[in-house]
Structure 1
Amino acid sequence: MKALGIAATGMNAQQTNVDVIANNIANAQTTGYKAGRAVFQDLIYQSMRREGAATSADGTSTPVGIDIGLGARAAGIVRNNEQGGLVETGNDLDMAIDGRGFFVINRPDGTVAYSRDGNFGLSPEGEIISMDGYPLDPGIVVPENTTEIEISQTGLVTAYVSGEAEPQEIGQLTLATFVNEAGLKAVGQNLFLESGASGEPILAEPGTDGSGLIRQKYVEGSNVDSIKQITDLIKAQRSYEMNSKVMTTADQMLQTANQVR
């Protein structure tokens, strides 16, 4: 009886589904978070009788075959890259990307990462850094005695320094876009890495080559729809319970068969 194994694959698949939903709900307030969705595929089929098999010497054949599927498996986790809502913070260094693109972040190990998290601050040296202390690429250093920082929609960063009438241009933000954003590898800390599926980054100034605009004093909220996640969680729970019921029923049928004399 194949039902036990088939139901087991269904339970494993729904457990993966629940794990993805739980992660979405946990990150409902995470800046720039993109909700994931588990995608499933059916497993291989065991053919008991092929379609079109001969049924007589007169040339008649079956219109359908007997193919028994062997269950389901998780094929991947697809991220929903729809933009989250913009949340005003009032912080001069906070930035949201209105449209496509990622901030380019330099990690301590020398690798480059990409993020939609626009929560930024200053290092002791005045460099603009992420909440984990990672600098932007290219790096931007704010002069001492700066009283105000302005960041234009196109990413030009200027500083008003005490005692100077005119602002100083201190840097230009660069955004990265990808042909397949869903192919980026998530590594935590709101960071993504380039992968073979994402393609190479296309670097451009905000507002050019399909990249979005910068909104200063805002951050992008999570795009998790909590109501939809709860609905999906209930559906996953019911599917898990039904697969469990299949296993119970299959076990009872095997017990009945074993008792036949």
Structure 2
Amino acid sequence: MNPALWISKTGLAAQDRQMSIISNNLANVNTVGFKRDRVSFEDLFYHIEKQPGALSDQQNTLPSGMQVGSGVRITGTQKVFTPGNYQTTNQALDLAIVGNGFFQVTMPDGTAGYTRNGQFHLNTDGTIVTAAGQPVEPNIDVPADATSLTISEDGRVMASIPGQVDPIELGQMTLVSFVNPAGLEAKGGNIYIQSAASGDPIEGAAGTEGLGNIKQYTLETSNVTVVEELVNMISVQRAYEMNSKVISATDQMLQFANQTL
């Protein structure tokens, strides 16, 4: 295959994959706690036809040589854990983490999952759970006759009970942090799980050990910036078009060469 055709093919594949990442970001612009992805590129190996610094004659050396690249590829994607905007609600179980950290939930298989989505609910047992029914760790059960819930910035959950003057403490929510949160594995459903790259979870009370505070009646919105994603989309589209034009131009050159032979 003509090298220019192959190089352009790698460019088309890379830009197509980046467009998929951008479309996923835009699709989740209203997903609570969603963190946008960004793409990392790298150039492929080079054909060294003339080594830089090699002798060009008995007295002189080549200043740059001749190195011909073979295209581009995507090396990976990275979650960008910058904070989103904060939206005030009127739901007592809408919680946002202001700062670093994740809520910890129990997955169906018993393993731990982590999320920034604090849009919680009560199940039939009165346990605080996610929208998918995953219990928040540590488990906190709310009495059926509780009239109101108050969750402090450090995660203490208090409930007002009819007939009692003072609210009762039901438990304390804890947060979890990681040395490398970008290394967490995204499972969908606003859930991340630990990976070898993320490091071990570090659990603690909100507001301690570098963890953020918990804000009640608040949700953290997606950190996707629509204008930025649209600009990136236009840039990807133009790059895709240019790679397509290189294929067309190379094809015309090959046709001309065949006709002249």
TM-score relative to the length of structure 2? 0.98
CA positional deviation for 1:59: 2.8
Task: State the alpha-carbon separation in 2 of the partners of residues 116 and 63 from structure 1.
Answer: 53
1:23-75 superposed Cα distances (whole Å, 9 cap, x missing partner): 0000000000111111100000011111122222x332111111110000001
Contact 1:94-1:216 within 8 A present in 2 as well: yes
Alignment-derived partner of residue 38 in structure 2: 37
> What's the secondary structure of 2:140's corresponding residue?
coil
Task: For 2:193, give the aligned amino acid.
Answer: L
Task: State the alpha-carbon separation in 2 of the partners of residues 176 and 88 from structure 1.
Answer: 23
When the two chains are superposed, the root-mean-square deviation of aligned CA atoms in Å is 0.8
CA positional deviation for 1:131: 0.3
Task: State the alpha-carbon separation in 2 of the partners of residues 76 and 100 from structure 1.
Answer: 24
1:166-207 superposed Cα distances (whole Å, 9 cap, x missing partner): 111101001000111111110100000111111011000000
Alignment-derived partner of residue 17 in structure 2: 16
Task: State the alpha-carbon separation in 2 of the partners of residues 50 and 101 from structure 1.
Answer: 50
Is 2:57 the partner of 1:27? no
Task: State the alpha-carbon separation in 1 of the partners of residues 64 and 214 from structure 2.
Answer: 58
Alignment-derived partner of residue 132 in structure 2: 132
Task: For 2:228, give the aligned amino acid.
Answer: K
> What's the secondary structure of 1:146's corresponding residue?
coil
Q: Structure 1 stretches of 5 or more lacking a match?
A: none
> What's the secondary structure of 2:208's corresponding residue?
coil
Task: State the alpha-carbon separation in 1 of the partners of residues 54 and 85 from structure 2.
Answer: 58
Alignment-derived partner of residue 79 in structure 1: 79
Alignment-derived partner of residue 227 in structure 2: 227
> What's the secondary structure of 1:15's corresponding residue?
helix
Contact 1:144-1:161 within 8 A present in 2 as well: no
Task: State the alpha-carbon separation in 1 of the partners of residues 254 and 54 from structure 2.
Answer: 31
Alignment-derived partner of residue 165 in structure 2: 165
Task: State the alpha-carbon separation in 1 of the partners of residues 112 and 251 from structure 2.
Answer: 53
Q: Structure 2 stretches of 5 or more lacking a match?
A: none
> What's the secondary structure of 1:247's corresponding residue?
helix
Q: In percent, how many aligned pairs have the same letter?
A: 43
> What's the secondary structure of 1:29's corresponding residue?
coil
Alignment-derived partner of residue 93 in structure 2: 93
Task: State the alpha-carbon separation in 2 of the partners of residues 90 and 214 from structure 1.
Answer: 16
Task: For 1:225, give the aligned amino acid.
Answer: T
Task: For 1:47, give the aligned amino acid.
Answer: I
Is 2:3 the partner of 1:2? yes
Task: State the alpha-carbon separation in 2 of the partners of residues 243 and 16 from structure 1.
Answer: 14
1:108-148 superposed Cα distances (whole Å, 9 cap, x missing partner): 11111000000001010000000000001110000120000
Is 2:178 the partner of 1:187? no
Task: State the alpha-carbon separation in 2 of the partners of residues 205 and 129 from structure 1.
Answer: 19
Is 2:178 the partner of 1:141? no
Task: For 2:70, give the aligned amino acid.
Answer: L
Task: State the alpha-carbon separation in 2 of the partners of residues 190 and 136 from structure 1.
Answer: 14
> What's the secondary structure of 1:24's corresponding residue?
helix
Task: For 2:214, give the aligned amino acid.
Answer: I
Contact 1:153-1:214 within 8 A present in 2 as well: yes
Poorly superposed stretches of 4+, deviation over 3 Å: none
| Equivalent pairs, count | 260
Task: For 1:135, give the aligned amino acid.
Answer: P
